Amino acid sequence: GENVEQHPSTLSVQEGDSAVIKCTYSDSASNYFPWYKQELGKRPQLIIDIRSNVGEKKDQRIAVTLNKTAKHFSLHITETQPEDSAVYFCAAMGSNYKLTFGKGTLLTVNP
């Protein structure tokens, strides 16, 4: 089955700096890669996603890149703000609609 590795497990940055979170996946059949943000006590919420036919996608301060050959994808957050502090999960979905999550990254943005 699919295995998703996520690094780092914790990340602390100063407000205004950039944050990068990296994930690798094992199943070459996976074709959809969402990123979720989960604040304490709340549901996971999609912040950006990318499909296997695209190499990069950007939405304001958030961007995701995908390297299918290397089977890795990354989340980039620029100009970080304290409200970006949360746990971020990467995930990979294959053709069976099974979504496999990475272990998560606790991002802390210090004012």
Partner 1 sequence: DTEVTQTPKHLVMGMTNKKSLKCEQHMGHRAMYWYKQKAKKPPELMFVYSYEKLSINESVPSRFSPECPNSSLLNLHLHALQPEDSALYLCASSQHSTGGTEAFFGQGTRLTVV
Query: Which residues contribute to the site for partner 1 (CB under 8 A)?
Result: 31-34, 42-46, 49, 51-53, 89, 93, 95-104
Instruction: State the Cα–Cα distance between residues 91 and 30, nearest whole angstrom.
Output: 10
Instruction: State the Cα–Cα distance between residues 75 and 36, nearest whole angstrom.
Output: 10
CB of residue 16 to partner 1, shortest distance in Å: 27
Instruction: State the Cα–Cα distance between residues 28 and 44, nearest whole angstrom.
Output: 25
Residue nearer to partner 1 on the CB measure, 41 or 111: 41
CB of residue 106 to partner 1, shortest distance in Å: 8
Residue nearer to partner 1 on the CB measure, 52 or 78: 52
Residue nearer to partner 1 on the CB measure, 75 or 89: 89
Amino acid at 44: P
Smallest CA-to-CA distance from 90 within 107, 78, 105, 79 is with: 105
CB of residue 87 to partner 1, shortest distance in Å: 8
CB of residue 69 to partner 1, shortest distance in Å: 19
Instruction: State the Cα–Cα distance between residues 47 and 54, nearest whole angstrom.
Output: 17
Tell me the chain's radius of gyration from C-alpha atoms: 13
Residue nearer to partner 1 on the CB measure, 18 or 64: 64
